[in-house]
Every structure is written in structure tokens, then in C-alpha cells.
Structure 1
Amino acid sequence: MDKTLIVTNDFPPRPGGIQAFLHSMALRLDPSQVVVYASTWKRGTSASEAALATAAFDAEQPFPVVRDRTTMLLPTPRVTRRAAALLREHGCRSVWFGAAAPLGLMAPALRRAGAERLVATTHGHEAGWAQLPGARRLLRRIGEGTDTLTYLGEYTRSRIAGALTPEAAARMVQLPPGVDEKTFHPASGGAAIRAELGLSDRPVIVCVSRLVRRKGQDTLIEAMPRVLEAVPDAVLLVVGGGPYRADLEKLAAERGLTDSVRFTGPVPWDQLPAHFGAGDVFAMPCRTRRGGLDVEGLGIVYLEASATGLPVVAGDSGGAPDAVLDGETGWVVRGGCPSEAADRVVSLLRDSSLRARMGERGRHWVESRWRWDLLAEKLRGLL
């Protein structure tokens, strides 16, 4: 591939799914052919602590990481000039925008600075942009200015393509996040987590995700009384942190479920595979909110659960169904419908052979379709 400048607001140590996607992809490219231009991360800690953490992280990377002084990288004139200068300084001929909107608006200026290939990756929020007149016009400009827009799945492609020119829509290419099947696997350490939490002898429904309304942890809590009628010793293990945690804990207490709903809080990334493995069933019945502006782009957690050998119960928000083979690796239910979620969870908890069959099918699907090395090879071709 040509030497590539990655321009992104989303990059570790800032946490999040887009950040993990970009970092995982970057690590699978030739490090001598990569330069990253990213924002500075300061949220959630003091400025000095964040600076030390960021510097330590950057020093460990096999490619140079250049940090902008801003905590939110936007296509301002100053940032665009800096990106153009880095392009020329490092002899880059290609650019990969980590999030098409809004950073892809820099594409014409970077092409004038010498970029020959411009690739911009879309996520869930661009599908929301496509519904708003002003943002839709900007998305159209991004499509015209870049060589390729990538998309996560059919849902996001169909929404975004409608905002583009026919020519730009025809150039779209699927590039979803991948799964490290060597990290997420059935022997990831789930038994130790269950023992640590005192859950060794209980059926466990696990949900690993940021705690926000869209993800549907509240739907699972509302479903638990119905689940417990059929499987009295079942427990819901909610893994992750986020602004919705206090509301979820209050809901569980109001429903009398303090022993049947457990919250781990945030978990270090290297412990996530074991927490997936602590479950018998993975469930996240995500739902679309705000008239389609708050929507699931794909739902990589379903694929990580499948790689771990778990059957999944997914919501029908946005591109989440793209991460499930309905009836084979799990089921898709209506987001926000506790009864549907409960019925599918109960069916799985009661039938170990069904769980094993769906889990095995999911593992094979991830290995054949969703491995990082396969997707990184596609990105190299685009660049």
C-alpha cells in the first residue's frame, strides 16, 4: 500500500469502539507506511495524568502518532493545514479518515497537498447525518471529495448511499470492524470470572457494552422477572460503565432484582474476553432512538460473543442484525421488547444443545468472515 496518513479524532487511549477499530486496523498495516494524526485525550482524568498516559501509549506504537492540541479533531482551517503539512513531511500519498463525518471535509485540501487516494470510513452516526438536510449536504460533499467511503453493513450503506451522488454511492465498499479470534475464544477464562463473582452454579446472561439507553440493558432488566419464572437461579451480568448505570441499578432495585442483576463496572480491555466467557448466553437488545439519529451501527460485541462460543440475542436497531445469522448464531428481537428478549433467553438457557450448536456456528462464522487479517487486507487494497 502507499504510505498513509490516518486522520482521526478517535484513537486510543481514548476508549470506544471506533478507537479500537482504527487501532486494530493500524496495527495490521505495515508500520513503516503509517502515520497517525489524532486528537489529545483528556476526559475523565487530570490533564497531566492524561498526557502521561497518552505519551506512554504513543511510545509503544510501531508507527509515529502525532497529537493535535485539541481534544476534538474537527476539519478547521488550522487542523487542515496541519494535516496537509504532515502529509508532505512524511511523504504520504494516501489518507484514511477514521470517521468520514466530519473529517472527510478535508479531502479536497489534502488532495491538493498531494494525496492520491482518500478513503473515509463511516460508522453509525453518518447514517443519522443522512437524515438531516444540512448534514446530508455535507455528507454528499464528503462522498464527492473522497475516492471511497466504507460502510459497516447493509443498514448503514442504504442510509448513507441515499445522501450521496450515484457515482459516490457506487464507490462504497464494506469495511466493518473485525474480531481477534485468538483473543475471543471459548477458553478465554470465563470459569474464573464466574467463580470470582460467585456465579459458578448459576445460568448467566451476559451483556458487555457501554451503559447507555440505546444498548437495551434496561430491557434485559425488565425481562428478568419472566426469565426467573422459567429459570429461577438465572443471573444477568452487566459488564461495562457509562452514564446510564445509576438508572439501571435503580431499576433493578425497584424490580427486586438485586441478587439477579450484577454490575461489574468498567472492565480493562484484556479482561473482556473472560467476561464474555462468563456467560451462557449473550444478550443486548439494542433499540433505535431519537427518530433514527441514535442507532446501532453494527454491534461488534455480538461477533465477539460468537467468537467466544456464545449464542446471542440482539436488538433490531440499525446494523445490529448484520452481526447475527438469525436462527443460526442467535436471534434478533425487537429492541425495547422485554417479552421477546425473555422468551429467546429462556429458550437458550433451557437447551444446552441449542446453545452449543449456535455457539459453534457463530465461532465458525467469525473465523471465516470477520477476522481482522481478512479485513486489514481489504483496507490495504483500498489504500
Structure 2
Amino acid sequence: MNIIFCIDEFPPVFWGGLGTYAREMTGRLSRRHVRPAVLSRNTGNLPLSDLWNGIPVYRPDVLKTNDIIPYLVPSGVESWNFPDQQFFMETIQYNQLGAYHYIRTFHQAKKHSFQLVVSHDWASATAGLIIRENLDIPFIFHFHSHEQGRMENPSQIITDIERMAAEKADAIITVSHAMKNALVKLGFQEEKIHVVHNGVDPDSFSPDLFTVDSISEFRSQTGVHDSPMILYVGRLTPVKGIENLIRAMPEIAREIPDVKLVVLGVGELENRLRSMTEELGLSDSIIFTCQHVSEQDLKMHYAACDCAVFPSKYEAFGIVCTEAMAMAKPVVAGVLGTSGFYEQVTIHGDEQNGFHVNPHSPEDIAKHLCILLKDPDMRKKFGLAGRKRIEKDFTWEVAADKTAAIYHQVHNPKQP
């Protein structure tokens, strides 16, 4: 089966978890008789058309439209700042150009035929909708998150794009039961929604990757040395709960004076978080690494930490948690509201691999981090349990099997 795979991030572009998803899933789908041709955003320095590991990729160049943007932006976007208006118009434009490419060049020239088109989140939804309408092929829409959950002030037009894609889709795939429940509450058709958890490659993210000496050297270079190390990985944005983690640190430092929190991420809150750290007198306890790092460096951060914390107020899935678990690290995760962490982090019995916390409560975050940091046997036990959970339920192989099965079922609903 040949499919058009519309996604906003594709290697070498990685802005978040979507790029990782695209990298890990496309090749695995190909091995399951689902051959994707990718449509993705061009960041300006990438070829228009190329092959990535044998997979055709088309990244249309977008035209400069700054002078006419005020005349083109739809209602609701005209109040955005100009860079955001630019981004929105470039998104719509590359969707249209990419859809045209696949409709005309491939389908009508008979060089290729497609049985299915899939889009991932709002930024590639319009391409899928255009292709669906013009080629009259089934359409699947993937929700990796949704606007009304990830934004404090959700955009009405992005919300409308998501709803239109969901209504027109023959099937919806989302990343957690928590996300499915959120979509159902918003009125989406429950019978159309399938849950496929994201995953991780347990051979790539493995606690055996690094030697004790290399971890010790990294800790020294980072400024952690022999201190207990808490790791936060994620965007520095309000929905990730990072401000309450900083507010939790005075209590943690009182209980464990030599503790170090390593913050790995970028985002609009960086300056505020640095100011909070100084105001709270925590400059010696919090280490900021506010930059994108290589995947190898990311793995080393996981390997070096004693525990990982993800106090998100909203998290459709949360692949950073999956990665930490694969590295055999205990995790403390925020689980109020829509949270895929709830499905990853088990808090009872022999399979317990971490704690659930209220992401709005610095006290709750501090309490459970202190419990972990004071008990090395618990950390080891939880870490090993998390690793086993990953190997059983949260690999990319499992995700690819389930996704390919849904694609084939939508393409051929009469097939058992």
C-alpha cells in the first residue's frame, strides 16, 4: 500500500517529539507493506525533493508573501503578531503546494498511485484534506496533541482546522487513552478514534550505553559531580510545569543540601526561570542547559541522572518519560488533566516505576522527589521496572504494528 505521509517535522528537522516519531515510524511502516511518501516543511536550506533512507520526501519552497499577508490572513489570525502570522501563512502555503505536487505530478501523471493519505496534527492537516478531496482516497488524522489542551489561550482557527480534519477523517489515531477521552469530551466521534502509544527503541536508549567512568566525567563537566541529580527534559513553556518545579527546589534543597537539578530545554520561559532561580537563592542548585543537544548527549543526561521529573500540566503522551524509563530511571510525572504519563508510570505493586504528582503543587513535587533521592534501592527497583515496561509495551515496533494494522483496515475495511 502506498500512502502520502504529511508531517510538519521530518529528519533532519527536529523541533520536538514529532520529528522523532517520523524518523522512527516511516521505515518501520515500510517493512509492514505501508510505503510512505513524505510531505514536510522546508526550513529554507533543504532540497525540494530527495530520498531519506529510501523514502521519497517532498519539501516545497514557500514564497515570500510579507507584503500581502495583511490581506490574506483569516479572521482570528489578524490579531497575532507578525512572525506568528508569517508562520501560519507559510504553513498553509506549503500544505497547498505539497498537496498540488502529489495530486498532479504523482497521481495524474500515473507515476505513482496512492491508497491512503495521513496527516499529523494541525500543521499538516490541510494538505491531507486537499489530497483527500481531490484524489478521493481515505484520510487518517493523527492527534499527537490538541490545541485546547496544549495552549492556555487556544487559537480558534487552529481548533477549527483540527475539528475539520477529524470530521473528514475515516479514522483518527491518537497517542494515549487520556487524549482519546479529551477528544470524546470535545464531541469527536469515539468510534473513529484509535489509541496507539508512542514508543522508544530500547536498543538505542539503553542503560548499558555508557561506562561508569564516562558518566562520572560527564557529571563533573556539567557541574553535578557526586551530588544527587534530578533531570528535567522538555520545553521551557508554562504547560510543562517547569515553574512549579523551580518553586519545589527550596524544599528539596533543605532536605538534600547538595542536590542538583539539571534543566535541559529551550523556550520562552528561560529568562524568567533564571530570574526565579536567583531570587530563590538556588544558583548553586540548578544548572541550565538551554540549547538543543544531540541524541547522544540526551542519552548521557538520562544515564547520569538519579531520577527524572516531568511535571506537565498537559501531556498527550510525553516521549521524554518513555526515554527516561528505557534508560532505567525512576520518574516523577504530573498526571492531572490530560496526561499520557498516567499510562506510562505505574505507581502500585512490583511494576511501580515512579510517582504521580499534582503538577500545580510544588509541595507534592518536592515530597516525591525527596522520597526517591533518599532511597537508592527504590530508585534502582523503579528503574528496572520501568525498563521492563518499555520492552513489553512501549517500543516503536509495537507502535508500527498497531499503526500499520489500522492503515490496512481503513484501506480495505472488508479484510479481516
1:5 correspondence with 2:30: no
1:150 correspondence with 2:173: yes
Q: Which structure 2 residue ranges, 5 or more long, are not aligned?
A: 63-86, 408-416
The residue type paired with residue 371 of structure 2 is S
Q: 1:172 to 1:134 in 2, by over 3 A?
A: same
Aligned partner of 1:316 in structure 2 is 335
CA-based RMSD of the aligned residues comes to 2.8
1:56 and 1:69 map into 2 onto residues whose CA distance is 7
Deviation at 1:234? 0.8
Report the TM-score, using the length of structure 1 for normalisation: 0.85
1:165 and 1:306 map into 2 onto residues whose CA distance is 32
2:106 and 2:134 map into 1 onto residues whose CA distance is 7
> Matched residue pairs, number?
362
Q: Is 112-121 or 302-311 further displaced after alignment?
A: 112-121
Q: Counterparts of 1:167-186 in structure 2 under 5 Å?
A: 169-186=190-207
The residue type paired with residue 286 of structure 1 is S
Show CA shifts across 1:47-99 (max 9, x none).
Answer: xxxx0xx3499555321110122364338655543342355143221212122
2:245 and 2:345 map into 1 onto residues whose CA distance is 18
Deviation at 1:16? 1.3
Aligned partner of 2:304 in structure 1 is 278
Q: 1:322 to 1:236 in 2, by over 3 A?
A: same
Q: 1:57 to 1:108 in 2, by over 3 A?
A: closer
Deviation at 1:27? 2.5
Q: 1:245 to 1:77 in 2, by over 3 A?
A: closer
Aligned partner of 2:319 in structure 1 is 300
Show CA shifts across 1:199-256 (max 9, x none).
Answer: 2311100111122222222222211111122211111011122222111111111111
Aligned partner of 2:265 in structure 1 is 240
SS at match of 1:282: strand
Aligned partner of 1:21 in structure 2 is 21
1:207 correspondence with 2:201: no
Q: 1:4 to 1:108 in 2, by over 3 A?
A: same
Q: 1:58 to 1:363 in 2, by over 3 A?
A: farther
Deviation at 1:269? 2.2
The residue type paired with residue 281 of structure 1 is C
2:47 and 2:302 map into 1 onto residues whose CA distance is 30
SS at match of 2:37: strand
2:362 and 2:22 map into 1 onto residues whose CA distance is 34
The residue type paired with residue 142 of structure 2 is T
Q: 1:381 to 1:170 in 2, by over 3 A?
A: same
1:364 and 1:127 map into 2 onto residues whose CA distance is 34
2:290 pairs with one of 265, 276, 293: 265
Q: Is 197-206 or 23-32 further displaced after alignment?
A: 23-32
1:74 correspondence with 2:92: yes
Deviation at 1:341? 0.6
Contact 2:334 2:359 in 1 (8 A): yes
Report sequence identity in percent: 25
Aligned partner of 2:138 in structure 1 is 117
Aligned partner of 1:48 in structure 2 is none
2:193 and 2:376 map into 1 onto residues whose CA distance is 41
Report the TM-score, using the length of structure 2 for normalisation: 0.79
Contact 2:125 2:161 in 1 (8 A): no
Q: Which structure 1 residue ranges, 5 or more long, are not aligned?
A: 43-50, 288-294
Contact 1:22 1:98 in 2 (8 A): no
Q: 1:133 to 1:30 in 2, by over 3 A?
A: closer
The residue type paired with residue 93 of structure 1 is Q
1:330 correspondence with 2:359: no
SS at match of 1:28: helix
Aligned partner of 1:345 in structure 2 is 369
Aligned partner of 1:97 in structure 2 is 119
